[in-house]
Amino acid sequence: MVKRKAEKQQAAAPMSAVAARKARQQQAQNQTPKNDADVEIVTEPPSKKPRRSVEAIEAKDNTSGPETRGPRTRSSKKQDAAVSTETAKGHQRRTTRSKKLESPQPDPQSQDESEKEESNKHQVDGPEDMTEDEVASVAGEADGYESPADTSTEIQNFPLSKVRLGKSNIVYTDESNLCVSIKEKMNMALLGQYDLWVKRGVISLMGAKLHPSKKSYRVYAPSTHSLPVIKCVAGVDGEAEVELKSCNNGLARLRDISPLYQKIWNGQNSAADKVTLKGAAKDSRRSYSVLYTSADDPLKRHLRPLHLDKKWSASMKALSQRQGSLRVLVCGPKASGKSTFSRYLLNHVLSPAPETENGYINTDGVAFLDLDPGQPEFAPMGQVYLAHLKAPFFGPPFTHPSLDGSRDGQIVRAHYIGATSPKEDPDHYATATMDLLEQYRSLLARYPQCPLIVNYPGWIFGQGLEVATWLVGCLGLSDVVYMSEKGPYEVVEPLSLAANKARVPMTILPSQPTEFVSRSSAQLRSMQIQSYFHQSHPAALGNPLWSDTPLSRTRPIAVKYAGEKQGIAGIMVMGSQINPEMIREVIEGAIVAVVEVNSPDALWGVSSSAQRQSGSDDHDDFEEDGDVEMDSDQPIEQTASSTEDLGVRSPENLPYLFAGSGSCTPLDPKTSNCLGLALVRSVNVGSQNLELSTPIISSRISDALEQGRSIVLVRGPLDNPNWAISEEYHAARAAERRYQQLVSRSKKNGDDQAENQATQKHTLSLLRERIRRASNVPWMTVVEDHSRQQREAAARREKSLWKLRKKAYPGSESETDW
């Protein structure tokens, strides 16, 4: 006790200020690591700062609209650029929605060092690599069921292929082709684009069973969707033999005009590719890559194989046994897998089997009634349509955005809703659906054994449920498929009662959504409509082609909108009351539907008001017939038109069709048909021409006018074509990148001579001048950010994915999928 008391007194003895400071420093140095760790990991309370989405952060930083991060403007290895392509109306809508979306902030310490190095490496690679800001450029258009999330810690190594390529199963191989044998119950997954030819045995692919034939099938397997799996179902001596061939259709080059198309196809050769390309040139690359696991992907993306639930497979098999009497309605909540099930069922019914057990062969094709205007399968957004298909399709919707000129199918009839949801105008939606049902009945007169698949949207509450139950009662269905085992009860019960009343069996299947995706629904819609405008169907080829030329560099079609020979009967605007003086601002730079009208009754209130003004019931003056020339140098014209009586004229003399107080009544679906979409490039007041860019085959418009039908342009409340505004900028950046790579290769080869340096410098200055001009356009702002913090944040967010959530009904957690 005495000793301890002495020690305490000695410790309390006075010391100099220097000695005291050294003692404190020594004590702090010994205790800091442990205390810091404790505070950081255990004792520090969670941050109370509200979590915001990437879109919300961008909206705050740039009051003129969200930013789209683009390629670097001066040197693709050192700088970042941002492109904003948002109008004032779109910005207000995005800003409002961004306040509702919440997402966790990415934690810089959640990535290990290897992931950071990989992210930085991808960012330095050039404009071909997309930053998360580019992915989030249209985040404001996503619905409330999606939000961006940092999922770097959740990305796992998933097995993709059971087949391991080697001498035992490689039949032959070269720089383009790869022929392999697959044993029964074995599968193989590929990333990219390829032509598939079944030489021996039977394989399954995206719901279809493919038998040996002379026909090859084009397969699109981007990283935006789960990868399709090639599986051997039956084989000769227990093996099937398939040939894979590279294809070059231009779709991959769309990455040069849109960041949404970047990093979605195969990158560098995988381990399996190196085995099959032995003996080929060093720089040999196919348009596809065989992957054993998701870790084989050089870009380390979130890849998953697409395996169907056993109940899905059993249901498809049972439904296909109904053969020509199949009439099935597929419905369910949002993000439950309705489109995937419909696509796989379609392929399954269209499987070109030589003969089934009962001798039935499907020669009449399949009718596909797509009632989902937000995510249509074979048409751009905003439409409902009836398609007659004769062959399976392998790929997501943006790989077949239209069927014009396709040998595998055609659009029988389409109606422009003008919105991504039927709830904008339920009456018009129901009327359009009734007309499509009449078209299907007419189709049955020519193809009596043509099954029907109806894809219904996720609009299953309120009026949507009423329309669904009405369809069950009037379609003459054979089956109803509901894509959710979790209800809700208030939806399932009315559907079950309607099915029982119509004596139609109802099947309830588990929803099978993809939890994480690399593109939101709005981004996929932008990709689909951009693909639509850049696609063509050459008559001599069985597969479509795509062009990476920006729309601003293509020759528009000139259409007369006034005068003695005008090419359009009028212009309509759906969903809003527009002053005639503002009609030019509304349609210029907007996407419109090109609708053919075969009767003045299609204009409903417009035609009746015109009759009252003219005092005549004669409709002959509405019919037009004249010569039509689709050459871009000659405007489209038609004769004998009195459309001045069908509405009002704007100050630019534009024929604005309206009814009542200024709102446009939708066209009558019974006497109208949507031919496709067009982009209004400009309104030339001097020549009274509309300059349009459209992928519609010119003969369709010519035939419509020659048959006395009228052409009406309809503007709906769809998203503005921001992708079209920034195409030239991204194309200019891609041209600069390609030239810099060419100069770099010439230096490595020793071709960097003094006389070439001046030429190279001049060419680079011209390319950068093109970039400068492309960045100086309306509704787009290029913002450069050279900071290291911004580059690291972009690389960190590059791994972010969209996390899908679905609710069975507002306020319910019974159908939430995290």
CA–CA dist 475, 503 (Å, integer): 12
Q: Nearest Cα to 232, choosing from 257, 206, 214, 205? A: 205
Q: Which residue has the higher pLDDT, 126 or 684?
A: 684
Residue 665 has a pLDDT of 79
- Tokens linked to 604: 């409903």
Residue 590 has a pLDDT of 92
CA–CA dist 653, 644 (Å, integer): 10
User: For the chain, what is the largest distance between any 2 Cα atoms, rounded to a whole number of angstroms?
Assistant: 124
Distance of CA 96 to the CA centre of its chain: 23
Residue type for 789, please?
Q
Residue 38 has a pLDDT of 36
Q: What is the pLDDT confidence band of residue 85, given thresholds at 50, 70 and 90?
A: very low
Q: What percent of the chain has pLDDT over 70?
A: 67
Residue 25 has a pLDDT of 63
Average pLDDT of span 109-131: 38
Lowest-confidence pick of 49-58, 278-287, 498-507:
49-58
Residue 785 has a pLDDT of 64
DSSP conformational letter for 24? H
Tell me, which fold does domain 310-513 have in CATH?
A: Rossmann fold (3.40.50)
CA–CA dist 384, 593 (Å, integer): 12
Q: What is the pLDDT confidence band of residue 243, given thresholds at 50, 70 and 90?
A: very high
pLDDT in tens, 335-393: 888 889 999 999 999 886 655 545 556 678 999 999 999 889 999 999 999 999 999 99
CA–CA dist 531, 527 (Å, integer): 6
Most confident listed range (97-106, 376-385, 512-521): 376-385
Lowest-confidence pick of 209-218, 411-420, 604-613:
604-613
Q: Which residue has the tokens 């392929």?
A: 347
Average pLDDT of span 582-602: 87
DSSP conformational letter for 159? B
Residues in the chain: 818
Q: Is residue 641 within 8 Å of residue 566, measured between CB atoms?
A: yes
Neighbours of 746 (CB within 10 A): 14
Q: Give domain limits for the chain.
A: 35-154+785-818, 170-296, 310-513, 546-723
Average pLDDT of span 595-609: 64
Residue 282, CA atoms < 13 Å, CB-side half-sphere: 0
Residue 370 has a pLDDT of 94
CATH code: domain 170-296 is 2.60.120.1030
Query: Is pLDDT of 784 > 70?
Result: no
CB-based contacts of 722: which residues, under 8 Å, 6+ apart?
Answer: 68, 85, 86, 87, 90, 137, 138, 526, 779
pLDDT in tens, 163-211: 888 888 899 998 899 999 999 889 999 999 999 999 999 999 998 999 9
CA–CA dist 313, 319 (Å, integer): 10
Average pLDDT of span 487-516: 85
Average pLDDT of span 303-327: 88
For helices 489-501 and 463-474, give the axis angle rounded to 10 degrees. 20
Average pLDDT of span 689-699: 90
Residue 800 has a pLDDT of 57
Residue 369 has a pLDDT of 95
Lowest-confidence pick of 195-204, 455-464, 725-734:
455-464
Q: Which residue has the higher pLDDT, 670 or 80?
A: 670
Q: Is residue 528 within 8 Å of residue 380, measured between CB atoms?
A: yes
DSSP conformational letter for 631? -
pTM for the full predicted model: 0.77
Residue 595 has a pLDDT of 93
DSSP conformational letter for 329? E
Residue 180 has a pLDDT of 93
Average pLDDT of span 680-687: 91
Lowest-confidence pick of 418-422, 482-486, 539-543:
539-543
Residue 427 has a pLDDT of 87
Question: Residue ranges of the alpha helices (H) in 198-296?
Answer: 271-276
Lowest-confidence pick of 84-88, 561-565, 715-719:
84-88
Average pLDDT of span 265-277: 88
Residue 513 has a pLDDT of 62
Lowest-confidence pick of 85-89, 419-423, 431-435:
85-89
Q: Which residue has the higher pLDDT, 53 or 472?
A: 472
Q: Do domains 170-296 and 310-513 have the same CATH topology?
A: no
Q: Nearest Cα to 559, choosing from 608, 602, 520, 594? A: 594
Residue 254 has a pLDDT of 95
Q: What is the pLDDT confidence band of residue 2, given thresholds at 50, 70 and 90?
A: very low
Residue 480 has a pLDDT of 93
Query: Is pLDDT of 32 > 90?
Result: no
Average pLDDT of span 62-69: 38
Question: Residue ranges of the alpha helices (H) in 457-507?
Answer: 463-474, 489-501
CA–CA dist 673, 383 (Å, integer): 11
CA dihedral in degrees (668, 670, 672, 673; nearest 10)? 130
Residue 353 has a pLDDT of 61
The chain-wide mean pLDDT, for the chain, equals 75
DSSP conformational letter for 497? H
